Amino acid sequence: MNAPLMGTYNHVMDAKGRMAFPNKLRDQLGLGFVITIGLEGCLYVYSSEEWAKFTEQLRTLSGPLAKQAIRKYAANAVIAEADKQGRILIPQNLREHAGLEHDITVIGNLNRAEIWDTARYEENNSKFSDEELAAALDSLAF
């Protein structure tokens, strides 16, 4: 995966936990991408390559909190493979973690994608003002 993942895509999840995953992101992530729990109530989606980098970084951590974090990420990780219609199945435990029921928002977030319940994403996103964005980017030279 060379190009950064980006964009916002709105989809729906069916009663079986299947959702159409955005073609553009799926093409960038490749076959057999990894879905696991994320922070702030979403799911993280990694290409196999990015997942390997992430787990290598996790392995460098030490201490009881680090062990718990590693265990939580690894135990909740699944390999997602799209069916012929481009749908992926989100396991029940991951749907519960992210509060996924019907309306889903998938975003590209540079080295990973994120899967959000649409209402949760909009609430989380609306809390970040343009002023806060400017402050966060203040140290970058544009």
pLDDT of residue 139: 78
Give the 3-state secondary structure of residue 98: helix
Report the side by side order of strands in the sheet with 43-46: 8-12, 103-109, 112-117, 43-46, 33-37, 78-80
pLDDT recorded at residue 140 = 79
Task: Let me know the angle formed at the C-alpha of 70 by 66 and 73, rounded to the nearest 5 degrees.
Answer: 135
Residue 142 has pLDDT above 60, yes or no: yes
DSSP assigned state of 17: S
Rounded CA gap, 114 and 135, in Å? 24
- Host H or E run for residue 112: strand 112-117
All domains of the chain in start order, with CATH: 8-137 (3.40.1550.20)
pLDDT tops 60 at residue 1: no
Tokens 């995953």 belong to residue: 21
pLDDT at res. 138:
87
Structure tokens at 73: 């990420």
Q: Which residue, among 71, 72, 88, has the nearest Cα to 80 in the 3D structure?
A: 88
Q: Which pLDDT tens digit goes with each residue over 90-141?
A: 999 999 999 999 999 999 999 999 999 999 999 999 988 889 888 888 877 6
Give phi and psi for 105, each to the nearest 5.
-120, 130
pLDDT in tens, 16-69: 999 999 999 999 999 899 999 999 999 999 999 999 999 999 989 999 999 999
